[in-house]
Amino acid sequence: MKLVSACLMGIHCRFDGKSSLDTDIQQLVIEGKAVPICPEQIGGLSTPRLPAEIIGGTGEDVLDGKAKVMNMEGEDVTEAFIRGAEEVLRIAKTVGATEAILKERSPSCGSNVIYNGTFQGIKQAGNGVTAALLKRNGIQVKSEETENETTFK
Ligand code: SF4
């Protein structure tokens, strides 16, 4: 079983109230091979919501208490991001997921690239908070952009 970012299967759970539909990933859910999750909604944030970025580090740093997640009005939403990551890990364990395909660049779901906390569209290498927690717990995390076609067979 896999976890997939809910926005990739067409759920309108993004900060702007839209989805990031990827029909290959949607098909995995239709076939019962993947469970959709949205850590930011599960963590208690509303949709739509203000964009947020990790300030001062990466998802690992947030988990370690060395960085924060702030929205673009300066509100600290770290607690919601950590709560969402922990609940997603709980879902992963419950369904026996060993792999996740998550939306790149998200402060929760990004697994190679995230934004650098300046809200200027500048990217940096790193994991989002949920991706970091899943990786720490032995779950293989890929993005929809780096995933190769064999996943969808
Ligand atoms: S938190 Fe993840 S699943 Fe939810 S909208 Fe953002 S990228 Fe998609």
State pLDDT tens for residues 7-29: 999 999 999 999 999 999 999 99
Which of 4, 20, 106 to mutate to test ligand 1, by most ligand atoms within 8 A of the CB atom?
A: 106
State pLDDT tens for residues 54-102: 999 999 999 999 999 999 999 999 999 999 999 999 999 999 999 999 9
State the pTM of this model. 0.95
Amino acid 152: pLDDT: 42
CA of 85 to the centre of ligand 1 (A): 11
Place of tokens 């998550």: 102
Answer yes or no: is pLDDT of 124 > 70: yes
CA 95 to chain centre: 18
Average pLDDT of every residue of the chain: 95
Place of tokens 């690992």: 60
